[in-house]
Amino acid sequence: MIVRSMIRRTILTVALVLAGTDALAQRRPRPQGTGLTGEADERFRRGIQLATENNYQAALVEFRRAYEVSRNALILFNVGAMEVELSHFAEGLDALQEYERAAPAPVVQARRAQIDALLERIRTRSGTITVALNIEALRVQIDAVGTSGVRVVREGAAARAAIRVPIGRYRITITAPGFRPREVEQDIASNSDTRVDQALEPAMATLAIRSNVEAAEVKVDGRTIGTTPLPPQQVTEGAHRIEVTRPGYSPFAVNVNAQGENGVIDAALEWAPSIAPTEAGRMALDRDYRDVECSIDGQRVACDGTDNVPPGPHMLRVAGRDYLPAEQRVRLDAGRVTRVEITLTARPEAIREQQERQSAHRRTGFIIGGVGLAVAIGGGIWLPLSLIQRADDADTQSLFESYKMRCSMSLPAERFMCINDLLPMGIRVTTPMALDELGASIDADVASSTTMVALAGVTLGVGVVGIVVGGIIVGTAPPDRFANPPPRRARLAPQFVPSLNGFGLRF
């Protein structure tokens, strides 16, 4: 109460101080002599009135505004007094110290007792909290535990300085980017300094680092943490550099700001534009599957081992029109061909197509052979009959010629009688023309039967050829290429390739 009365008396006589140093000798105030003008004088007088009415918060507002308008350092004493009265000890101390520094020395000396009384009240009614942590962007929040409602927030360098609060119990919350928040409760005694210096724990984030290739080396901030595939990694929150590398691939690097638990880094590694033969691996299928394509990690390569591939583990995929896709993990060694034994399963539709093609081929052969057999049988029957007919016609021709020869010595009148006696019953010739026509008819029959023999022979031959062709077609039907695995691929011949040390040998 003594200090409060002193503060009230000081406020009521402040006009005396503002009037000038010559008024220090006077004992009673002269209200008209504040030394302020305009808005500053009006607000200062209103502040005095409010203070006499114990409305310290409103008085503080008016005093602050008067100071902002006039920049008169003498008003800082009033500001400091109101801050102390409101238990704003840190702000009151700052105002009084600024008053001591900026106000005229005689004025400060004249008010030494009042200043010391206010400072003593600050010391006996408050303490300080010092967060001794050398962390950039530090933030300290101090909340009174209870109903006082005091809250102080400091950031940056101010957070590392001593923070003055009234006596009581406080909850101190310390935060900083990249660290876990820390909260403690402390009792703050008068004229004491409470230090909080326990280090903050780094805040952790989770990063899932994934890559499209296996066995890639992963580095975080230059430190190797393993090879892909990796489980999610715990890193401190904040900026990090992620690097993913593997021989034969272009390196991957990215700067990330890790926060929370759901960070994902997808490192897409691409094959290096060129790989030295001595450093590259190569892959060849052990079996020579037809019409298939090979790809390693999604990139197409030759199936015969002629393409250079980054060494190490890979995912091989083989697919073709007639085969179901097959995948297999392979490991390729540098500088050599790795032969891969992989079994492909034929597609059901390819098997059906193969069987239909085989059946159609055989069916064609059977049809041609069957037709040929029928033609050959017909020709075989026709040929003997034609031969018999040809023999009969030839005998008739021979007899007719012999008859003509025998009767050629007879007299003309008797020649036809001789021939008619020799000819079979029913055939008679009476004129030379009739004899010639008979001879021509016999010759025509011989020629006709000869032609029939030839045609029968040709028919028999065509039938035999049909049988042979049908048998060949049946015998040469395409085999079932899915019944057995294809043959093994021939091994590559050794090759000499240039290297840094001269020449190297690869296969």
Averaged over successive runs of 10 residues, the pLDDT of the chain (507 residues) comes to 50 47 34 72 94 94 95 94 93 94 94 94 94 92 83 92 92 90 93 92 90 91 93 89 92 90 88 82 88 89 89 90 90 89 88 84 87 89 88 79 70 65 65 71 86 89 90 81 81 54 50
Q: Give the torsion sign (CA, 439, 441, 445, 448).
A: positive
pLDDT of residue 31: 39
Q: Is position 506 within any domain? A: no
Q: Is position 417 within any domain? A: yes
Domain check: are 384 and 470 in the same one?
Answer: yes
Q: Is position 362 within any domain? A: yes
pLDDT of residue 101: 95
Q: Which residues contact 259 (CB under 8 A, 6 or more apart)?
A: 205, 237
Domain check: are 383 and 461 in the same one?
Answer: yes
CATH of the domain at 169: 2.60.40.1120
Q: Is position 498 within any domain? A: no
H/E run at residue 328 = strand 326-332
Q: Domain limits at 293?
A: 282-348
End-to-end CA distance of the chain: 103
Domain check: are 409 and 459 in the same one?
Answer: yes
The distance of Cα 304 from the centroid of its chain, to the nearest Å, equals 29
Domain check: are 218 and 312 in the same one?
Answer: no
Residue 251 near residue 245 (C-beta atoms within 8 A): yes
Residue with tokens 């918060």: 57
Domain check: are 6 and 98 in the same one?
Answer: yes
Domain check: are 470 and 358 in the same one?
Answer: yes
From CA 242, how far away is CA 267, in angstroms rounded?
A: 9
Domain check: are 375 and 438 in the same one?
Answer: yes
User: How far is CA 71 from each of CA 235, 277, 470, rounded to the nearest angstrom?
Assistant: 52, 82, 122
Q: Is position 95 within any domain? A: yes
pLDDT of residue 435: 67
* Number of domains observed in the structure of the chain: 5
Edge to edge, what strands does the sheet with 223-227 contain? 223-227, 217-220, 238-245, 252-258
Last residue of a domain, one of 348, 366, 386: 348
pLDDT of residue 48: 95
What are the b/e assignments for 144-161, b being 16+ CB within 10 Å? beeeeeeebebeeeebbe
Domain check: are 225 and 335 in the same one?
Answer: no
At 93 the three-state DSSP class reads helix
Residue with tokens 């206010």: 118
User: How far is CA 38 from each of CA 35, 41, 64, 68, 239, rounded to the nearest angstrom?
Assistant: 10, 6, 15, 13, 55
Q: Is position 59 within any domain? A: yes
Residue type, 225: I
Domain check: are 254 and 361 in the same one?
Answer: no
Residue 167: what are its φ and ψ, rounded to 5°?
A: -60, 140
From CA 379, how far away is CA 363, in angstroms rounded?
A: 24
Which burial class, exposed, middle or buried, applies to 231 when counting CB atoms under 10 A from its CB (0-12, 13-18, 19+)? exposed
Question: If you write DSSP's letter for every residue of 59-74 in order, what string do you get?
Answer: HHHHHHHHHHHH--TT
Last residue of a domain, one of 81, 110, 139: 110
Q: Is position 144 within any domain? A: yes
CATH of the domain at 58: 1.25.40
From CA 457, how far away is CA 379, in angstroms rounded?
A: 7
Domain check: are 209 and 189 in the same one?
Answer: no
Which burial class, exposed, middle or buried, applies to 423 when counting CB atoms under 10 A from its CB (0-12, 13-18, 19+)? middle
User: How far is CA 432 from each of CA 142, 400, 415, rounded to the nearest angstrom?
Assistant: 157, 14, 10
User: How far is CA 233 from each of CA 258, 338, 375, rounded to the nearest angstrom?
Assistant: 11, 34, 85
Last residue of a domain, one of 79, 110, 141: 110
The closest alpha carbon to 304, from 276, 345, 342, 337, belongs to 337
Residue with tokens 């061909």: 337
Domain check: are 146 and 208 in the same one?
Answer: no
Q: Is position 303 within any domain? A: yes
Domain check: are 344 and 368 in the same one?
Answer: no
